[in-house]
C-alpha cells in the first residue's frame, strides 16, 4: 500500500490533533488543590495508602522558610498519577509492598498504623528506616529509598520545587561577565 505525501501529512496531523485532544482532557501532573477545595481522589492508591505517601513525602521535604513542602507541591498526587499510568506492573506493586512494610513496622514499633501514630512516632519510624538508606535490608528500608527518590523527582518537577525552592527564573539574560567558552 502506498500513500501520497499529502495523505501522510493529513494522517499525521489528524493523529497529532487526537493526541492533543486526549492530553487536554488530563489534569496537569502536579495538580495542587486550591485551599477550600477537596483533594483529588487517588487513581492508584487507596485512601489510606495515599495519606501515608502524602505524610511521608511531606516529612522528607517539609515546608521551610524558602518554599512550601512536598504536600503543597502535590507530590503524592503526582506519584499516584504516575503509578496509575505505569506500563510495568511491578513498580506499582513495589509501592504497595513498601507501604505494607511501613505499616507492619509501625505496628511493631508503636502498636498502631503509621497515620494513627503521633508525629513523634512517625518521625522515629522514618528516622529508623532512613538510617539504613545506604544499605537497606528490610522491605521498609528499601521503601524509604523508593519514596525518597519519588518525592525528590516529583517535588523538583513542580512549580514550587523549581521556582520557589531552586529559584529558577527561566531562560533570561544573565548580566555580568560570561564565563563560557569564547569560540572566536
Cell numbers of 70, please? 512536598
Identify whether the C-beta of residue 44 lies closer than 8 Å to the C-beta of residue 91.
no
Share of the chain residues as helix, strand and coil, in percent rounded to the nearest 5: 60, 0, 40
Q: Strands, DSSP E only, in the chain? A: none
| Distance between first and last Cα of the chain | 52
The packing angle between helices 75-84 and 90-110, to 10°, is: 130
Contact between 141 and 133 (Cβ < 8 Å)? yes
pLDDT digits (tens, 9 = 90+) for 115-162: 999 999 999 999 999 999 999 999 999 999 999 999 999 999 998 888
Q: What is the pLDDT of residue 162?
A: 83
What is this structure's pTM? 0.72
In the block, residue with C-alpha cell 492508591 = 45
Q: Is the pLDDT of residue 38 over 70?
A: no
**Which pLDDT value is given to residue 174?**
63
Average pLDDT, the chain: 85
Number of H helices, E strands in the chain: 8, 0
Residues 6+ apart with CB under 8 A from 136: 129, 142, 144, 145
Give the three-class secondary structure for 21.
helix
- The tens digit of pLDDT for each residue in 156-182 reads 999 888 877 777 777 776 666 665 666
With pLDDT > 90 as the criterion, what percentage of the chain qualifies? 59
Nearest-angstrom CA–CA distance, 150 and 131: 18
Give me the phi and psi of 104, to 5 degrees please: -65, -40
Amino acid at each position: 500500500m502506498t500513500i501520497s505525501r499529502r495523505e501522510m501529512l493529513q494522517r499525521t496531523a489528524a493523529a497529532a490533533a487526537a493526541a492533543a485532544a486526549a492530553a487536554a482532557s488530563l489534569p496537569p501532573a502536579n495538580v495542587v488543590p486550591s485551599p477550600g477545595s477537596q483533594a483529588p481522589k487517588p487513581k492508584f492508591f487507596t485512601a489510606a495508602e495515599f495519606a501515608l505517601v502524602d505524610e511521608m513525602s511531606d516529612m522528607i521535604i517539609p515546608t521551610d522558610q524558602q518554599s512550601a513542602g512536598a504536600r503543597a507541591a502535590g507530590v503524592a498526587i503526582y506519584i499516584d498519577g504516575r503509578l496509575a499510568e505505569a506500563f510495568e506492573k511491578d513498580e506499582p506493586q513495589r509501592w504497595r509492598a513498601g507501604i505494607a512494610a511501613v505499616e507492619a513496622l509501625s505496628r511493631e514499633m508503636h502498636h498502631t498504623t503509621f497515620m494513627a501514630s503521633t508525629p513523634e512516632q512517625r518521625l522515629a519510624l522514618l528516622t529508623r528506616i532512613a538510617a539504613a538508606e545506604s544499605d537497606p535490608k528490610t522491605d521498609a528500608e528499601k521503601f524509604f529509598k523508593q519514596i525518597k527518590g519519588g518525592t525528590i523527582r516529583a517535588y523538583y518537577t513542580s512549580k514550587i520545587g523549581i521556582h520557589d525552592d531552586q529559584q529558577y527564573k527561566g531562560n533570561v539574560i544573565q548580566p555580568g561577565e560570561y564565563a563560557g567558552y569564547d569560540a572566536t
